[in-house]
């Protein structure tokens, strides 16, 4: 219809619950290759479940290859620390901003960075002069100012919750959350759905920790849910008084309105 012709060598087709005969006919007609999940987009695997070691292998290989290249040159310890801050944390941050990395992957990355910092190469044993958790302290506290990756993961979870409750962005993911996940439900008081992806389950389970850091300011033109949003003492009224209080409130309000 547009007059454009898709490039068969650059196009792939994915099937879900489609008969084999229909798949073979579609491939023969279009000339496309059959795609295999997970899909790599902008260097990231597009998966709906928990990331496995196989999914994160490209990240680990990229970090290791960078350090092997630097290990062939004479770099001081201060230079290695700067490379970790500017390059390695940039690679890991690109993944963490879009995907929630499992703890075993984050510990593996921290182990690679610690070995490179103290030895300069990944080959052979290494003597660690200071524990990595002490290296992640501020410089004023005697550390090296590195970011603790497990804490970074928690920050990313809380940032995603911040995006959901503000509802000021127009990304496709937030629109899907509003139309599908939050349909006739409130974010702070809803139950975790049984059929829920691993990433969304992590976000919903992190709500309790975020409640201690979020403050609703009530004023003119405020927009919030009376019973479900934590506008009073950082806790939803539904959790404090229960659903029975809502029914009693609605009943009394209805009686007051009746002439």
The pLDDT assigned to 258 comes to 44
What is the pairing mode between strands 33-34 and 12-13? parallel
Residue with tokens 């007609």: 29
The pLDDT assigned to 252 comes to 53
Q: Do 8 and 26 contact (CB within 8 A), yes or no?
A: no
In a domain, 44, yes or no: no
Number of domains in the chain: 3
Last residue of a domain, one of 118, 147, 176: 147
The pLDDT assigned to 54 comes to 86
Per-residue pLDDT reduced to its tens digit, 222-244: 778 888 888 888 888 888 888 77
How many whole angstroms separate alpha carbon 196 and alpha carbon 181?
9
Whether residue 183 is found in the same domain as residue 142: no
Question: Could you give the angle at the alpha carbon of 205 between the alpha carbons of 202 and 211, nearest 5°?
Answer: 125
Four-residue CA torsion sign, 190, 191, 196, 198: positive
Contacts of 15 (CB under 8 A, 6+ apart): 22, 23, 26, 34
In a domain, 257, yes or no: no
The enclosing H or E element of 45 equals strand 44-46
Tokens read off for 108 = 């593996």
What is the average pLDDT across 44-66?
85
Whether residue 114 is found in the same domain as residue 179: no
What is the average pLDDT across 178-207?
86
Q: Do 243 and 237 contact (CB within 8 A), yes or no?
A: no
Whether residue 246 is found in the same domain as residue 158: yes
Residue 108 is part of which domain span? 57-147
In a domain, 41, yes or no: no
The pLDDT assigned to 251 comes to 52
What is the average pLDDT across 33-47?
81
How many whole angstroms separate alpha carbon 107 and alpha carbon 122?
15
> CA distances (Å), 155 to each of 139, 169, 193, 213, 238, in order?
21, 19, 23, 12, 27
Per-residue pLDDT reduced to its tens digit, 66-101: 888 887 677 888 888 888 888 988 888 888 888 888
Angle between the N-to-C axes of helices 89-96 and 149-166, in degrees from 0 to 180, rounded to the nearest 10: 40
Cis bond before residue 38 (omega within 30° of 0): yes
In a domain, 2, yes or no: no
Q: What is the pTM of this model?
A: 0.73
In a domain, 42, yes or no: no
Per-residue pLDDT reduced to its tens digit, 212-221: 888 888 888 7
The average confidence (pLDDT) of the chain is 83
């Amino acid at each position: 219809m547009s007059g454009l012709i898709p490039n068969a060598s650059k196009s792939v087709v994915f099937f879900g619950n489609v008969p084999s005969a229909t798949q073979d006919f579609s491939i023969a007609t279009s000339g496309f290759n059959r795609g295999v999940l997970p899909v790599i987009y902008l260097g990231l695997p597009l998966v709906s479940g928990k990331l496995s070691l196989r999914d994160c292998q490209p990240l680990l290989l990229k970090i290791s290859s960078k350090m092997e290249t630097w290990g062939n040159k004479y770099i001081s310890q201060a230079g290695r620390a700067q490379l970790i801050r500017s390059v390695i944390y940039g690679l890991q941050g690109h993944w963490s901003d879009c995907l929630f990395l499992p703890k075993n992957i984050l510990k593996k990355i921290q182990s690679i960075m610690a070995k490179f910092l103290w030895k300069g190469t990944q080959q052979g044993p290494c003597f660690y002069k200071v524990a990595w958790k002490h290296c992640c302290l501020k410089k004023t506290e005697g550390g090296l100012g590195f970011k603790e990756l497990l804490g970074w993961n928690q920050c990313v979870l809380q940032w995603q919750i911040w995006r959901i409750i503000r509802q000021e962005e127009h990304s496709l993911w937030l629109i899907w959350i509003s139309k599908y996940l939050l349909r006739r439900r409130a974010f702070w008081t809803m139950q975790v759905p049984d059929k829920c992806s691993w990433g969304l389950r992590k976000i919903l389970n992190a709500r309790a920790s975020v409640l201690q850091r979020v403050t609703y300011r009530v004023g003119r033109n405020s927009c919030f849910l009376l019973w479900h949003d934590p506008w009073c003492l950082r806790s939803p009224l539904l959790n404090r008084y229960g659903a029975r209080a809502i029914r009693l409130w609605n009943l009394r309000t209805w009686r007051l309105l009746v002439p």
